[in-house]
């Protein structure tokens, strides 16, 4: 996964970087992890790319098999996937502007849009829907925005460990007033931290992660993900290509489609984590590799690929709007730049803006 961890990364852990296309973080939660042998899945950010978008639609060295490799052996390990209607419960931790929340809400709501403008977010989700469980049931078609919870007062501080992210969820589902529902069948709990909050390993190649909560901490086993706003801490790492790392002097960042570098960067990581939660919620369903402690999931395999021709250090062919903003898919009301995911039927990365 690109620099971010999946829900299972809620334990004290040490992140280890693997191959650019199969990077994962091994998290050690002390004695607890030794018993559970569980590791959160992480989402790494894209590597620096050699080309940027051009006018409207970039054409050029196109290759069909983006990210394809005979070395990729994505397998189903018989665990559950999210076949029931998926409800995403955002938990806004810290200070958020209304405009920022609207961007993320619209992305989530666009996943199941009925009449989208192509290429669309719902078209991107069609690849995720190709995955099935042992009964043959597909990943859910329905992804809806559920109730939300805000923690404007940073009740767990401005520096969180992976385990304390689970405590944030516990506070949301056990709140005295308007607690979030505990939906273990189709619920996805999305902890979103503001730009002044640091989470363990954040910016050190980690921008988000997903796993499931421990009953000993939260009281329930719930699939969840954390994604942070990197605008102040490390935009060149987690909001690339809308921000450029210091080691790339002279490179010009792309214009974000919604005018917010941090939040536009978060959207792709959110998509990454939701796609993996849907197909590997308990880290025992769809992943590559022999060890579940190092799961390489469907979004990890396509990290940094946003269009046809993507792979290695190239993002692929994206689109540029009249305002100069770069994107690769349309939502209900907005445009977004979201990485592709692995299509196990054809054996390569795929997205709605593919040219072939």
Quote the Cα angle for 161-269-74, to 5°.
100
Determine the average pLDDT of the residues in 50-74.
42
Rank 35-44, 150-159, 204-213, 286-295 by mean pLDDT and report only the highest: 150-159
Q: Residue 291: what pLDDT?
A: 80
Cis peptide before 331 (omega within 30 of 0): no
Residue with the bigger pLDDT between 1 and 119: it is 119
What is the pLDDT of the chain when averaged over all its residues? 84
Residue 33 pLDDT grade (very low, low, confident, very high; cuts 50, 70, 90): very low
Assess whether pLDDT exceeds 70 at residue 83.
Answer: yes
Assess whether pLDDT exceeds 70 at residue 43.
Answer: no
Determine the average pLDDT of the residues in 251-268.
97
Q: Residue 246: what pLDDT?
A: 86
Q: Residue 249: what pLDDT?
A: 86
Q: Is 172 helix (H, G, I), strand (E, B) or coil?
A: helix
Handedness of CA 15, 82, 188, 303 (dihedral sign): positive
**Token pair for 252:** 């010009």
Residue with the bigger pLDDT between 312 and 338: it is 338
pTM: 0.84
Determine the average pLDDT of the residues in 280-285.
96
Q: Residue 55: what pLDDT?
A: 27
Determine the average pLDDT of the residues in 64-80.
72
Helix/strand/coil percent split, the chain, to 5: 20, 20, 60
- With 0-12 / 13-18 / 19 or more C-beta atoms within 10 angstroms meaning exposed / middle / buried, residue 149 is buried
Residue 64 pLDDT grade (very low, low, confident, very high; cuts 50, 70, 90): very low
Residue 149 pLDDT grade (very low, low, confident, very high; cuts 50, 70, 90): very high
Assess whether pLDDT exceeds 80 at residue 53.
Answer: no
Determine the average pLDDT of the residues in 128-142.
98
Residue with the bigger pLDDT between 52 and 194: it is 194
């Amino acid at each position: 996964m690109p620099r971010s961890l999946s829900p299972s990364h809620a334990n004290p852990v040490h992140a280890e970087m693997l191959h650019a296309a199969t990077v994962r973080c091994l998290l050690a939660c002390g004695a607890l992890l030794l018993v559970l042998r569980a590791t959160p899945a992480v989402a790494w950010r894209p590597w620096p790319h050699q080309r940027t978008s051009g006018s409207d639609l970039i054409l050029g060295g196109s290759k069909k098999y983006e990210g394809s490799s005979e070395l990729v052996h994505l397998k189903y390990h018989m665990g559950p996937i999210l076949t029931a209607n998926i409800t995403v419960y955002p938990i806004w931790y810290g200070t958020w502007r209304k405009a920022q929340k609207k961007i993320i809400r619209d992305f989530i709501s666009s996943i199941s849009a009925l009449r989208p403008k192509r290429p669309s977010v719902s078209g991107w989700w069609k690849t995720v829907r190709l995955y099935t469980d042992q009964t043959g049931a597909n990943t859910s078609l329905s992804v809806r925005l559920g109730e939300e919870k805000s923690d404007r007062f940073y009740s767990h501080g401005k520096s969180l460990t992976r385990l304390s992210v689970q405590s944030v969820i516990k506070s949301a589902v056990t709140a005295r007033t308007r607690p979030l529902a505990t939906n273990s069948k189709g619920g996805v709990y999305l902890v979103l931290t503001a730009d002044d909050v640091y989470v363990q390993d954040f910016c050190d190649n980690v921008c988000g992660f997903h796993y499931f909560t421990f009953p000993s901490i939260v009281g329930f086993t719930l699939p969840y993900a954390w994604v942070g706003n990197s605008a102040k801490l490390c935009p060149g790492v987690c909001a690339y290509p809308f921000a450029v790392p210091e080691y790339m002097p002279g490179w010009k960042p792309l214009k974000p489609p919604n005018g917010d570098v941090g939040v536009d960067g978060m959207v792709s990581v959110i998509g990454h984590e939701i796609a993996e939660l849907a197909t590997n919620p308990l880290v025992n369903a769809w992943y590559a590799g022999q060890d579940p402690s190092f799961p390489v999931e469907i979004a990890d395999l396509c990290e940094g690929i946003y269009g046809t021709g993507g792979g290695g250090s190239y993002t692929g062919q994206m689109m540029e709007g009249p305002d100069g903003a770069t994107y690769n898919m349309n939502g209900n009301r907005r445009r977004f730049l979201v990485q592709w995911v692995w299509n196990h039927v054809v054996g390569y990365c795929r997205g709605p803006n593919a040219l072939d």
